[in-house]
Amino acid sequence: MTLPEWFNVSGEALGWLALVSFTTFVGSLLLIPVLVIKLPEDYFVSTKRPVSHFKQSHPYLHYLIIAVKNMGGILLILAGIVMLVIPGQGLLTIFLGVFLMDFSGKYHLERRLIQQKQVRESINWIRLRANKQ
C-alpha cells in the first residue's frame, strides 16, 4: 500500500488524530499554567513525594483514579508517537502522557526536569504572574 492509498483508507483515523492534536495543544495552553499555579510552593523541596491524605482516606478510589490516569497517559503517549510522523504536537503529547501517569521514579524525573534552568524560569514566571511564590 502506497502512502496516498494509506491516507485515503485512513482518513477517519487522521481526522481523529488531528482532533487529538488540536485538543492537546489548546488543552496544554490552558491546563499547564493552572497546574503550575496549583503546585504547593515546596513541592520540589522534599526528596520524596508527600503521602496524599486522599490516598489514606479513600484507598480504593485512589487506585481506581491512578488506573484511569495511567490508561489516559498511555493513550496520549501512543497518540504522541503517531503525531511525530504526522503534523501535530507529538512531543508535547508524549510529555503530557508521561506526566499524567503514575510510575516509580516519576517524582525523581520531575525534580530533574525542574533543575533545568529554562524549565525552572518558565515555571517561576507563570507563578510570579499569579502572585505565587
Count of structural domains, the chain? 1
**C-alpha count within 13 angstroms, C-beta hemisphere, residue 104:** 0
Phi-psi sector, 88: left (phi>0), alpha (psi -120 to 50), beta? left
Q: What is the pLDDT of residues 61-72, one digit of tens each?
A: 888 988 998 998
Give the pLDDT score at 10: 67
Q: Which range among 30-34, 47-51, 122-126 has the greatest average pLDDT?
A: 122-126
Domain that holds residue 124: 3-129
Look-up of cell digits 508517537: 81
| Lowest mean pLDDT across 40-49, 60-69, 104-113 | 40-49
Judge contact between 111 and 124, C-beta under 8 A: no
